[in-house]
Amino acid sequence: MKAQRNAVVVVTGASAGVGRAIVREFAKRGNWIGLVAREPDRLEVTRKEAAALGGRAIAVAADIADPVQVEAAAQRVEDELGPIDIWINNAMVTVFSPLKEVQPEEVRRVTEVTYLGAVYGTMVALRHMLPRDHGSIVQVGSGLAYRAIPLQAAYCGAKHALKGFTESLRCELIHDKSKVNVTMVQLPGLNTIIYEWAKSRLSKKPQPVPPIYQPEVAARAVY
C-alpha cells in the first residue's frame, strides 16, 4: 500500500538518520506523521522540518523498548491525527565491539530497541489495524539480517530475529486473508549519525560496509 496524501504514518526512531529521512519523504507528499523517539529536542527539530515540507506532524517522546510507552504513543497519534495507516519500525541501537568485550546490559539494550522495539510496535499497530482490516507495517531491516558481520553480534542477531518474526507474522496474515500488510526493507550500508553515537570499543572510527549510501536512498525505498 503506497501512502496517499494525508495518510497517517508512525515512524519510530524519527529524530535522526534514516528515521528523519523517512519523515521528510512522507512529509513532502503531505502525509500526517507521528514522530516517535526518546529525545524531545531532536524530535521537535524533525517535526518542524516535516511541517516546512508540507506534512503535518506531532512529536511523541517515548522509549520504543517499553511496550506501555509504545501503546501510549500510538493512542496519542490516533487521538490527534486519526487512524494509523502505516507503522514504520525504524528505531535501532548497536555496539561496535568484539563480543568477548560486550557487557550483558549492552546486548540487552540492543535487543530491546532493535528487535523487541519493532515487535512491540508491530503488536500495537496490529491492535489498531486488524479491527479495521487496513494498514501497512514496515520493518526497517538490514542486509545483516541475511549475512552477519563481526563486531556487531548483538545487532546482527536482532536483525536476524526481526526477519524471522516478520516472516511468521506474514504467514498468519495470509492465512487470515487480512488486508493488513507487513514488509521488511533490508538496507545497505548508510551514512548516518549512528557511527558517531553508538558505543564503540574499536581502535578506529567505525563506518558502514561499502558501498555506502545516503539516508535518503533508504527513505525512498521505505516510502
DSSP 74-140: HHHHHHHT-S--EEEE-----EES-GGG--HHHHHHHIIIIIIHHHHHHHHHHHHHGGGT-EEEEEE
Q: Is 120 a catalytic residue?
A: no
Q: How far apart are CA 44 and CA 192, in angstroms?
A: 19
* Residues 18, 84: Cα–Cα separation, whole Å: 21
- As given in the structure block, the three cell numbers for residue 220 are 525512498
With a CB cutoff of 8 Å and minimum separation 6, the contacts of 154 are 94, 95, 99, 102, 106, 107, 110, 111
Could you tell me if 86 and 10 are in contact, meaning their C-beta atoms sit under 8 angstroms apart? yes
Among residues 146, 155, 213, 223, which one is catalytic? 155
Catalytic residue list: 155
